[in-house]
């Protein structure tokens, strides 16, 4: 398999993290950072169906875009997808929420702070709005994790891996006040202790 991955992207990182947790060391990773020659080549070769990474190319050439869809493919039959239908649906609910709500605020604020080509879009009003909305979203996670070690059930699932990607750098990259979220911080620590864990760098 080949993974087209943007190294600094949380969406790409969540796929690399699951690969590490599953012990997949046989996947070729091609870095397609923004504005790179590798990105241009991948687009020219039609390897990025939606124009962005990550994309997982299977052995037969099938292309799987979208980070959370890739997680579901890789996690099939593993401990990371609950067998119970209700728990599996709850896992998917968190994953849909991550893309529909969380990523569009937490990741966007981080990108406006960290990527030079996007800083012109980081107006004071927009940054303040993203900060307030991001704290509200992190509070949703905090309220849940106060009474639970994991987002779904009694063990780690794809939901945790999915939301870890942008949450664990929300303070350092996004400028969010993570001191407010003790339960989220404890959950972050639990994920870093999983066998096979690999950091963003």
State pLDDT tens for residues 106-130. Answer: 999 999 999 888 889 999 999 999 9
Confidence band (pLDDT; 50, 70, 90) for 72?
very high
Do residues 174 and 134 make contact, with C-beta atoms less than 8 angstroms apart?
A: yes
Where in the chain is CATH 1.20.1050.10? 85-192
> Interior CA angle at 180 toward 175 and 182, to 5°?
115
d(CA 13, CA 101): 18
Where in the chain is CATH 3.40.30.10? 2-75
**Position 39 pLDDT exceeds 80:** no
Q: What is the pLDDT of residue 35?
A: 61
Residue percentage of the chain with pLDDT more than 90: 82
d(CA 26, CA 95): 26
**Position 51 pLDDT exceeds 90:** no
CATH code for the structural domain at 2-75: 3.40.30.10
State pTM to two decimals.
Answer: 0.93
Confidence band (pLDDT; 50, 70, 90) for 96?
very high
- Which region among 30-34, 64-68, 138-142 has the lowest average model confidence (pLDDT)? 30-34
**Position 34 pLDDT exceeds 70:** no
d(CA 70, CA 56): 7
d(CA 183, CA 149): 9
Confidence band (pLDDT; 50, 70, 90) for 66?
very high
Q: What is the pLDDT of residue 38?
A: 73
Compute the residue count for the chain.
201
Confidence band (pLDDT; 50, 70, 90) for 185?
very high
| pLDDT higher at 166 or 46 | 166
- Which region among 28-37, 66-75, 92-101 has the lowest average model confidence (pLDDT)? 28-37
Q: What is the pLDDT of residue 25?
A: 87
Do residues 47 and 55 make contact, with C-beta atoms less than 8 angstroms apart?
A: yes
CATH code for the structural domain at 85-192: 1.20.1050.10
Residue percentage of the chain with pLDDT more than 70: 99
Confidence band (pLDDT; 50, 70, 90) for 37?
confident
């Amino acid at each position: 398999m080949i993974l087209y991955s943007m190294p600094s992207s949380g969406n790409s990182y969540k796929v690399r993290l699951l690969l590490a947790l599953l012990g997949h060391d046989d996947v070729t990773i091609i870095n397609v950072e923004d504005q790179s020659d590798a990105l241009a080549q991948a687009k020219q070769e039609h390897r990025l169906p939606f124009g962005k990474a990550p994309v997982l190319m299977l052995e037969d050439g099938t292309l799987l875009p979208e980070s959370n869809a890739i997680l579901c493919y890789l996690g099939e039959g593993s401990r990371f997808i609950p067998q119970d239908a209700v728990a599996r649906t709850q896992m998917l609910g968190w994953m849909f929420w991550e893309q529909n709500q969380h990523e569009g605020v937490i990741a966007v604020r981080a990108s406006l702070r960290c990527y030079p080509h996007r800083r012109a879009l980081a107006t004071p009003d927009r940054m303040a709005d993203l900060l307030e909305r991001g704290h509200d979203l992190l509070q949703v996670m905090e309220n849940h994790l106060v009474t639970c070690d994991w987002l779904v059930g009694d063990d780690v699932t794809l939901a945790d891996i999915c939301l870890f990607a942008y949450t664990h750098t929300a303070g350092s990259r996004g400028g969010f006040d993570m001191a407010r979220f003790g339960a989220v911080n404890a959950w972050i620590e639990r994920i870093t202790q999983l066998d096979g864990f690999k950091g963003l760098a």
